Amino acid sequence: MTGGTTMNEAATSAHEHHDAHEHPGAQDATAGLGGGLASMAAGATLHCLTGCAIGEILGLMIGTAVGLAAGATIALSVVLAFLFGYALSSLPLLRNGLSLRAALALVLAADTVSILTMEVVDNLVMAVIPGAMDAGLVNAVFWVGMSISLVAAFAAAYPVNRHLLSRGRGHALTHAHHRASGAVTGWRRFIPDLPAPALAAAIAAFMLGGLVVAVADGLA
């Protein structure tokens, strides 16, 4: 029995060593986080959602202003959602010393699945809500539809990010680089430090303002 137990323990140890080697960021990703994996997954999802929301709203505003067709406006919004999502993820990496090339390589690997999930769900929900796709910016249906679609996108992307983090992927790839080893110096100190909760609050306030303006315009 002792020999069998020893062999089982050795096999278990070897399996754990293999997992740690295959996914080296899995343990480091959650180290030092009071909320653990769930908290980190929520933060990562909120971070991606912020970039997506900025890109989508800006794309719809541009498309409406220049009179683009609905399909072209949606395409522009999706492109900008990816652009702003990657940009927001790159800023802390650049601030903490990574080169632009290294930062982009990391965020492409870390955020693509999350952003893609959000964009698919967001646009599907907007398509399902009657009139949301065709509503202009000065229309309460647009702002209500956008709010619902973003909440749905968060709900869909959260389990995806949690799974990726548990495997040492997704935002686990960038988490270690968010902790600067020392004071930020040189030109990097001018890179803004934009916490995702603050950005999300600003976007929520902007969307609420848009809804208020739309309702007031409808009552006028």
- Spell out the residues 6+ positions from residue 91 whose beta carbon is closer than 8 angstroms to its own: 191, 192, 193, 194
| Residue 37 buriedness (CB in 10 A; 0-12 / 13-18 / 19+) | middle
**Model confidence over 154-205: pLDDT tens digits?**
999 999 999 988 888 877 777 666 655 567 777 887 888 788 788 889 889 9
Q: What is the mean pLDDT of the chain?
A: 80
Instruction: State residue 112's pLDDT score.
Output: 94
Question: How do residues 24-66 score in pLDDT, each as one tens digit?
Answer: 444 444 444 435 888 888 888 988 899 899 998 898 888 877 8
Q: What are phi and psi of 47, to 5 degrees?
A: -60, -45
> Tens digits of per-residue pLDDT, 116-166?
999 999 989 988 888 887 777 788 998 999 999 999 999 999 999 999 888
Predicted model pTM = 0.77
Place of tokens 């976007």: 203
Contact by Cβ (8 Å): 97, 187: no
Residue 67: φ, ψ to 5° = 75, 35
